Structures are given as structure tokens and as C-alpha cells.
Amino acid sequence: MIEIIPAIDIIDGKCVRLTKGDYDTKKVYDDDPVEVAKRFEANGIRRLHVVDLDGAKSRHVVNYKTIEKIADHTSLVIDFGGGIKTDEDLDIAFASGASLVTIGSIAVKNPELFESWVERFSPQKVILGADVKNGFISISGWQEEADNQLMPFLKKHTEGGIENVLCTDISKDGMLEGPAIELYKEIMAAFPDMHLIASGGVSCIEDIEALDAAGIPAVVFGKAFYEGRISMEELTRFL
């Protein structure tokens, strides 16, 4: 059964969502991400994807105090991403309570450093962030498009030991129009042993059911839940 992973995106310490990664579309859903995390845990959720959007934009970890508070007040497994660019950023993320980290930009700009992190912390703790737009990887909070095509990028890093990949179709993100199921099927066909985490576009419980039927191992979702299109009751069948 597919693993469901709610997302908390943070700007200025608040729980927000963007559309297609555009910071001008910011919508605040809750002033206290810790309370949001506690509600998820109370309803049986065990894992959380937390994105430091301030960090992604400023290119260093910013909202680590929020991670500390979530870790202190819940037992959730925290997957943290956004702004991890240096050894210090990585150490801060883990010291603040993250169990896993999602890293994208450094895997593009400094693959040797990324590979050293995978070796240092293990492939179980480092998730490759593959944010894709028109077949190419986007980095730096989706503010910059790289020259890397998605499939060769995935091939390079899976050969380097990566097992877990969070793939976001940026064109779908926040649009509530359904996920890029065909893209995820293509990835799974090429890399059948990958633990693929689908992200972007989930609009209703039927989208999660479709991803499950397609054999996608895990899904990150956010806006559909915050907008009331998916209820906690509907999610319980996947817990």
C-alpha cells in the first residue's frame, strides 16, 4: 500500500502553500506548523515532509527552530528539505530533529559533495530531490532551471547509491489538477527498485488511489488537504 506523507511548507515560521513554486502565490494556512504536525500525528500519520521555503530561496537553512519544535512535540519521522547547501546546513538539519533530508540543488551543482553526504549518512537518510519542469531539473527553490534532464539525472544518482527519490512535477504543484501519474510510471519502469515519492498535483483521495494502483511507493500531498478536498477520514484507509 502507498505511504502517505503530508507536507508542511514553511515561510516566516508559518504553514503555507505555493502554486508552481511561485512565492508570490503564498497562502498561509496556519500560523503554527507545530500544531498542524500534532494534529497529523493524532490522526495516525507517522511521517512528515517539511520544506523550508525561506531556506530554499536564501540557499541556507533558515527555519530549523520550527523543526526542533516539531521534533520536541511529536514522534513523527521528519523528512526535511530546503536550503541544505553545506556540511553545516546538513548538520543543523539532523541536529534539529530531522530523520531524513531531501536534497536537490547540491546533487546538480556539486554531485561529489552530494555523494559524500550519501556515503556519510547512508542512502536511507538522504533523499534525492528531483524537481522537474518540461523534462529538466529545477533547483534553488525552483527559481533556476538546470541543464540536467530527468532520466539521466536519476540514472547517475541511483548508480551512485541513491534509493529514495522525491519527484515533483512543478507544472502540477499546487494546481489541484491531478498528479503526473504517467511520469511516475515511466520512472518506476526504468528504476523498479527505486523508492519513489510522488509529489505535486494531488487534488482528491482518488488521485492517491490512482497512484497506489500504479504501484507508486509513496506520495507527498498538502494543498488538497489544507483546502478541505481530502479529509483525514479518507486518509485512514492508507494508514
Residues 173, 199: Cα–Cα separation, whole Å: 8
Residue 123 contacts residue 100 (beta carbons within 8 Å): no
pLDDT for position 102: 98
Place of cell 546538480: 108
Query: 239 lies in a domain?
Result: no
Annotation says 31 is catalytic: no
Domain count, the chain: 1
Closest to 41 (Cα-Cα) out of 29, 30, 33: 33
Record the cell numbers describing residue 9, joined without a space: 511548507
Check pLDDT > 80 for residue 143: no
pLDDT for position 144: 78
> DSSP assignment, residue 237?
G
Query: 70 lies in a domain?
Result: yes
Query: 238 lies in a domain?
Result: no
List all residues 6 or more positions away from 7 whose beta carbon is below 8 Å from its beta carbon: 48, 49, 50, 51, 199, 220, 221, 222
Instruction: State the residue range of the domain holding 187.
Output: 3-233
Query: 110 lies in a domain?
Result: yes
Query: 155 lies in a domain?
Result: yes
Helix (H, G, I), strand (E, B) or coil at 109: helix
CATH code assigned at 69: 3.20.20.70
Query: 213 lies in a domain?
Result: yes
pLDDT for position 208: 98
For residue 188, give the H/E element and its range: helix 181-190
Query: 143 lies in a domain?
Result: yes
Q: Which of 131, 173, 207, 212 is catalytic?
A: 131
pLDDT tens by residue, 147-199: 999 999 999 999 999 999 999 999 888 888 999 999 999 999 999 999 999 99
Helix (H, G, I), strand (E, B) or coil at 15: strand
Annotation says 147 is catalytic: no
Check pLDDT > 80 for residue 142: no
